[in-house]
């Protein structure tokens, strides 16, 4: 039994695929301490720099003093605290849906929504580059699972037109996590309405960052929100919101169905109420501090401008996820290592996470970065390319 596992691990190592955790010794920030060394980091999803914000820390401490540390029970038994409830109301209002439901993580939210809404005899249509949690959810649901080429709505439409299932569910990342590009949400909504399908939008990387006041990818249009009752909106609270958790917002019938039958909602302990307390504060900062998004936009523009003459090209992205396409896995790993030796952390993303031959450096920017941080990364990349 053990030698079988050891053999598999050895193979993984030989292929350069053995993954290792690095021990972070500081809070998440633009400057971090890892295993005794200081680094300038471009790896986190803390896009607004809220993960270590004093007001959030204070709210979490106040929450702990008032309501304790652990929820002690699931939501349906008696773990549903008044602050969970307040946060759900605030999130529904902020994302402009009638109701919202908190989940422990985005992974669990996706599993819960997809398995509650689709089952044997139903069909799920999914963008090929969707997040792993959406793929796992589709497989777990036992519905027929059809993946369409990235952003290819022509193929999606053909498949929708020929589908005869009772229930159809289209699922897509709003901002693709390894590309940084954005799904054509208005066109997806239009297709789903035309063919009677639900649309699950995973806005893990858009919530807090995109749209008016950071309300997310559904608010990217100038004239308000992309509205439709077929949309089921999922966003995470451990990325731009800086804390932990996720929520789903949708029509009341959908939310009530999730409460009754989403297994990853029902059969798990509610998150510590102190996290909801911190998130209520986070939501206020997201809504009011426009300057964080303005700063982030400046960093994105500066990076794109600076890297124009590099031999490696940035993928087309206007979001804080700025992937630098390298190609070969070994080369991407080498550049990431050379940057590390210069005190800069940028992760190399390799197959199977991304398609063969498209290994990349995934640069993620944060409002917590300074212009000189971007300049330092730029200089290092030009040195390595020379």
Ligand X SMILES: *Cc1c(COP(=O)(O)O)cnc(C)c1O
Is 205 a known active-site residue?
A: yes
Residue with tokens 């695929």: 17
CB of 200 to ligand X, least distance (A): 11
Non-local (6+) Cβ contacts of 246 within 8 A are 102, 103, 104, 105, 106, 108, 109, 204, 234, 235, 236, 237, 238
Q: Does 208 bind ligand X (CB under 6 A)?
A: no
Strand partners, 361: 324, 348
Strand partners, 126: 147, 171
Site string for ligand X, 295-324 (x = CB under 6 A): ------------------------------
CB of 233 to ligand X, least distance (A): 12
DSSP sequence for 348-384: EE-TTTS-TT-EEEEEE--TT--HHHHHHHHHHHHHH
**How many whole angstroms separate alpha carbon 243 and alpha carbon 60?**
10
Which one of 82-90, 197-205, 248-256, 369-377 is the stretch in contact with ligand X (CB under 6 A)? 197-205
CB of 185 to ligand X, least distance (A): 14
- Residue, CB closest to ligand X: 106
Is 177 a known active-site residue?
A: yes
Q: Contact with ligand X (CB under 6 A): which of 49, 63, 106, 323?
A: 106
CB of 308 to ligand X, least distance (A): 28
Non-local (6+) Cβ contacts of 110 within 8 A are 131, 133, 134, 136, 137, 200, 202, 234
3-state secondary structure of 240: coil
Q: Does 233 bind ligand X (CB under 6 A)?
A: no
Q: Which of 81, 95, 177, 336 is catalytic?
A: 177
3-state secondary structure of 233: strand
Pairing of strands 37-41, 31-34: antiparallel
- Structure-token pair, residue 384: 């390595």
Cβ contact 233:216 at 8 Å: yes
Which one of 59-67, 99-107, 210-218, 354-362 is the stretch in contact with ligand X (CB under 6 A)? 99-107
Pairing of strands 321-327, 359-364: antiparallel
Q: Does 205 bind ligand X (CB under 6 A)?
A: yes
Site string for ligand X, 242-281 (x = CB under 6 A): ----x-----------------------------------
Q: Which is nearer to ligand X, 125 or 195 (CB)?
A: 125
Is 239 a known active-site residue?
A: yes
Q: Which is nearer to ligand X, 239 or 350 (CB)?
A: 239
Site string for ligand X, 120-149 (x = CB under 6 A): -----------x-x----------------
Residues 152-191 that bind ligand X (CB under 6 A): 173, 177
- Full 3-state SS string of 172-198: EECECCCCCCECCHHHHHHHHHHCCCE
Q: Does 282 bind ligand X (CB under 6 A)?
A: no
Q: Which of 239, 329, 336, 364 is catalytic?
A: 239
In the complex, the residues that contact ligand X under the rule CB under 6 A are 105-107, 110, 131, 133, 173, 177, 202, 204-205, 236, 238, 246
Q: Which residues are catalytic?
A: 177, 205, 239
């Amino acid at each position: 039994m053990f030698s079988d596992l050891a053999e598999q691990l050895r193979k993984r190592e030989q292929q350069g695929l053995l993954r290792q955790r690095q021990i972070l010794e500081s809070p998440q920030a633009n400057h971090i301490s890892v295993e005794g060394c200081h680094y300038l980091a471009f790896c986190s999803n803390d896009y607004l720099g809220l993960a270590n914000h004093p007001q959030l820390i204070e709210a979490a401490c106040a929450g702990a003093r008032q309501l304790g540390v652990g929820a002690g029970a699931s939501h349906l038994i008696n773990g549903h605290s008044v602050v969970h409830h307040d946060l759900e109301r605030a999130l529904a209002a902020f994302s402009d849906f009638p109701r919202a439901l908190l989940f422990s993580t985005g992974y669990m939210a996706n599993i819960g929504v997809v398995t509650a809404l689709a089952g044997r005899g139903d069909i799920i249509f999914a963008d090929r580059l969707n997040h792993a949690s959406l793929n796992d959810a589709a497989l777990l649901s036992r519905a027929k699972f059809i993946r369409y080429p990235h952003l290819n709505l022509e193929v999606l439409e053909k498949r929708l037109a020929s589908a005869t299932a009772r229930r159809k569910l289209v699922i897509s990342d709003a901002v693709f996590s390894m590309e940084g590009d954005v799904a054509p949400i208005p066109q997806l909504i239009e297709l789903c309405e035309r063919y009677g399908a639900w649309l699950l939008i995973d806005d893990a990387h858009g919530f807090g960052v995109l749209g008016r006041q950071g309300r997310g990818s559904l608010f990217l249009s100038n004239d308000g929100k992309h509205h439709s009752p077929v949309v089921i909106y999922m966003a995470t609270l451990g990325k731009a919101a800086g804390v932990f958790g996720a929520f789903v917002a949708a029509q009341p019938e959908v939310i009530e169905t999730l409460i009754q039958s989403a297994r990853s909602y029902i059969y798990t302990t509610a998150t510590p109420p102190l996290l909801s307390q911190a998130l209520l504060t986070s939501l206020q900062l997201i809504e009011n501090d426009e300057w964080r998004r303005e700063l982030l936009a400046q960093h994105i523009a500066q990076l794109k401008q600076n890297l124009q003459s590099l031999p490696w090209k940035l993928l087309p992205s206007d979001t804080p996820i700025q992937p630098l396409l390298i190609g070969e896995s070994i080369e991407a790993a080498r550049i990431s290592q050379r940057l590390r030796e210069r005190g800069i952390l940028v992760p190399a993303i390799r197959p199977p996470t991304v398609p063969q031959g498209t290994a990349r450096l995934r640069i993620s920017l944060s409002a917590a970065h300074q212009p000189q941080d971007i300049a330092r990364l730029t200089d290092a990349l030009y040195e390595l390319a020379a």
